[in-house]
Every structure is written in structure tokens, then in C-alpha cells.
């Protein structure tokens, strides 16, 4: 037997640890028994979200992929990002029919904006929060729980006024929370923030009415959507830059052949990316 120490972030901001004795030969399954947690249900959810999961074996693969599909467009049938995010999920399921999909529709159900009461509750130690504070943070907890269980985020995000849709920014503000998704310690010097979670993959599907936002293009530097999302993902979600994939549709307001080609290219890239990632992640 080989002894291994495992650590993972608890939901209250602390670090939980355990020691596991592992057989030298490849095991058929794993079992982890835990007790003495101050909040067992929440801690066990946190364990699951960080890949310490109770699972049933299915061949060589122990768990199904969990996809968090986020749509932030205010449009419904006319939305290009909604169609493309749905196409990604459909393509993925052709390779993994049992994949779990959590659909969060920010466009239809925008999160409430962060308020003074929210900030006060978020910065109050959990054991000191009042029932009203817990109520204020309830949506934040729900959104964070969705984020924590995700193996992959598929984000449909149209460019509004060269930046994020307001509903998407509101979601970011709800899930970026000290003690739950990041820790803060001035002893770390000039970079006191550290992500407490790891999002394995992020797919950003965007659309814009104009064109030329790439480096060297006519509107180089005007795109404040993708850089914002990349910064949040890398600095606060623990996602490596190499695990962020971006697909964009341009020329939407021009409604000409260039837009048709851009949309066709985006569809092809969505299907190809879903296939590549599914083959990589499902077989791992």
C-alpha cells in the first residue's frame, strides 16, 4: 500500500485534509469516509466539486462530465450565442450521452446586483451571519455550487457595447466571493488573492455586430469582453490560459456574405471543439 495525503478547500474557507492508503495495483474503485465536519452536506458537496467524488464504475471511467451551460444573451430565438452553445452541448452528447448539463439562463433570469447588504454578508464570517445575511447570499451560494461542480463551462456571451452583457457581469460579481471561490491573505504580498477552485475548461462563444477585433484588426483593443472573461477565469477560477477556448461570430449587423461565412465557420469550430474536448476529457 502507498500512503497519499490529499487536501481540498472547504466551503468555509479552510483547508480539509485526509490521508489515503492506496493499493499499488490499479484499484477497481475508491471509497472515502468522512466525519466530524461542521456542515457535512456542504463539505461533501465541496469534496465532490473538487473531484473527490462518490462514484459508480462504468468501464474505465468513474464519473460523467458535468457541463455548466451559461447563456447571457437577452435575445431568445434570434440569439446566435444561444444556438451555438446549444450546438456545443448537442455535439458533446453525441460522444457522451449521459453527460450532466446544468443550464443557467442569465438572459432570462439575470442575477440581482451586488448591494451593500450583500457585501456586508459576504465579508462576515459564516458563523456570525444572521438569517437575513444568509438569505442575501442564497443566490450566490447556488451559483457558486453550479460553478464548483462543473468540469466544463460553455459560456454564450454576446458583445454588448464592446463589453459583457450586464447579466453576465452580475453573475461574475455573485460568484467571485471571498472564502468560497477565492482566498485573501496579505502575507502573500502584492498578490493576496488566490483561487480556491479549478475550472478545467472554459469555452467562450461570442457574437458581435462589427468585426476586426483581433490583434492588428480595424478595432484592435475595442474588445473588452474576452479579456475580461479570461482575466476572471485565470486569476479567480484557476483556469489555465491554455484551457480557455474562444469562438466568435462577427459582422452580425452587416447581414452580408461575410456574416454568413463567419457564422458557418463558427458552427464548424463549435462542433470540432466539442468533439476534441469530449474525446480528450471522456477518455481521461
Distance CA 197, CA 51 (A): 11
Which tens digit of pLDDT belongs to each residue from 127-175? Answer: 999 999 999 999 999 999 999 999 999 999 999 999 999 999 999 999 9
Q: Which pLDDT score is estimated for 34? A: 43
Distance CA 269, CA 248 (A): 10
Instruction: Point out which residues pair with 103 in neighbouring strands.
Output: 69
Q: Which pLDDT score is estimated for 198? A: 82
Q: Which pLDDT score is estimated for 27? A: 47
Q: Residue 63 has which C-alpha cell?
A: 464519473
Residues in the chain: 284
Residue ranges of domains in the chain, CATH in brackets: 2-49 (no CATH), 66-283 (3.40.50.360)
Per-residue burial over 12-22, b if 16 or more Cβ lie within 10 Å, else e, is: beeebeeeeee
Average model confidence (pLDDT) for the chain? Answer: 85
Distance CA 143, CA 66 (A): 15
Percent of residues, the chain, with pLDDT higher than 90: 75
- What is each CA distance from 275 to 76, 79, 101, 249, in whole angstroms? 26, 23, 16, 20
The angle formed by the CA atoms of residues 165, 168 and 174, to the nearest 5 degrees, is 145
Per-residue burial over 64-101, b if 16 or more Cβ lie within 10 Å, else e, is: ebbbbbbbbbbeeeebbbbbbbbbbbebbbebbeebee
Non-local (6+) Cβ contacts of 43 within 8 A are 10, 11, 16, 34, 37
Q: Which pLDDT score is estimated for 17? A: 52
Distance CA 134, CA 260 (A): 48
Which tens digit of pLDDT belongs to each residue from 220-270? Answer: 999 999 999 999 999 999 999 999 999 999 999 999 999 999 999 999 999
Q: Which pLDDT score is estimated for 215? A: 92
Which tens digit of pLDDT belongs to each residue from 93-129? Answer: 999 999 999 999 999 999 999 999 999 999 999 999 9
- Residue 197 — pLDDT band, cuts 50, 70, 90? confident
Q: Which pLDDT score is estimated for 35? A: 41
Which tens digit of pLDDT belongs to each residue from 76-88? Answer: 999 999 999 999 9
Q: Which pLDDT score is estimated for 250? A: 97
Q: Which pLDDT score is estimated for 18? A: 55
Name the DSSP class of 23. -
Instruction: Point out which residues pair with 154 in neighbouring strands.
Output: 69, 203
Which tens digit of pLDDT belongs to each residue from 21-69? Answer: 555 554 444 444 444 333 434 444 444 444 433 333 334 445 799 999 9
Q: Which pLDDT score is estimated for 236? A: 93
Q: Where are the alpha helices (DSSP H) in the chain?
A: 40-49, 80-93, 116-122, 131-136, 138-149, 166-175, 226-236, 257-283
- What's the whole-model pTM score? 0.79
- What is each CA distance from 229 to 34, 105, 200, in whole angstroms? 36, 17, 15
Amino acid at each position: 500500500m502507498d500512503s497519499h495525503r490529499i487536501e481540498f478547500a472547504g466551503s468555509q474557507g479552510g483547508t480539509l485534509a485526509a490521508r489515503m492508503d492506496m493499493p499499488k495495483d490499479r484499484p477497481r474503485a475508491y471509497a472515502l469516509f468522512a466525519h466530524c465536519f461542521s456542515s457535512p452536506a456542504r463539505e461533501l458537496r465541496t469534496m465532490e466539486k473538487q473531484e473527490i467524488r462518490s462514484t459508480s464504475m462504468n468501464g474505465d471511467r468513474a464519473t460523467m462530465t458535468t457541463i455548466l451551460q451559461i447563456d447571457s444573451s437577452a435575445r431568445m430565438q434570434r440569439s446566435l450565442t444561444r444556438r451555438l452553445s446549444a450546438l456545443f452541448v448537442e455535439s458533446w452528447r453525441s460522444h457522451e450521452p449521459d453527460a450532466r448539463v446544468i443550464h443557467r439562463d442569465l438572459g432570462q433570469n439575470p442575477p440581482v446586483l451586488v448591494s451593500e447588504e450583500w457585501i456586508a454578508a459576504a465579508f462576515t464570517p459564516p458563523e456570525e451571519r444572521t438569517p437575513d445575511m444568509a438569505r442575501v447570499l442564497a443566490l450566490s451560494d447556488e451559483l457558486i455550487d453550479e460553478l464548483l461542480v462543473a468540469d466544463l463551462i460553455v459560456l454564450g456571451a454576446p458583445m454588448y457595447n464592446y463589453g459583457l452583457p450586464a447579466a453576465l457581469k452580475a453573475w461574475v460579481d455573485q460568484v467571485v466571493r471571498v472564502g468560497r471561490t477565492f482566498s485573501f491573505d496579505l502575507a502573500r504580498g502584492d498578490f493576496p488573492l488566490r483561487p480556491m477552485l479549478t475550472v478545467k475548461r472554459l469555452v467562450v462563444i461570442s457574437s458581435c455586430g462589427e468585426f476586426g477585433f483581433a490583434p492588428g484588426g480595424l478595432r484592435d483593443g475595442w474588445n473588452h469582453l474576452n479579456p475580461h472573461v479570461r482575466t476572471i477565469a485565470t486569476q479567480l477560477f484557476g483556469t489555465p490560459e491554455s484551457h480557455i477556448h474562444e469562438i466568435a461570430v462577427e459582422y452580425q449587423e452587416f447581414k452580408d456574405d461575410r456574416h454568413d461565412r463567419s457564422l458557418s465557420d463558427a458552427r464548424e469550430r463549435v462542433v470540432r471543439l466539442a468533439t476534441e474536448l469530449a474525446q480528450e476529457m471522456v477518455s481521461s
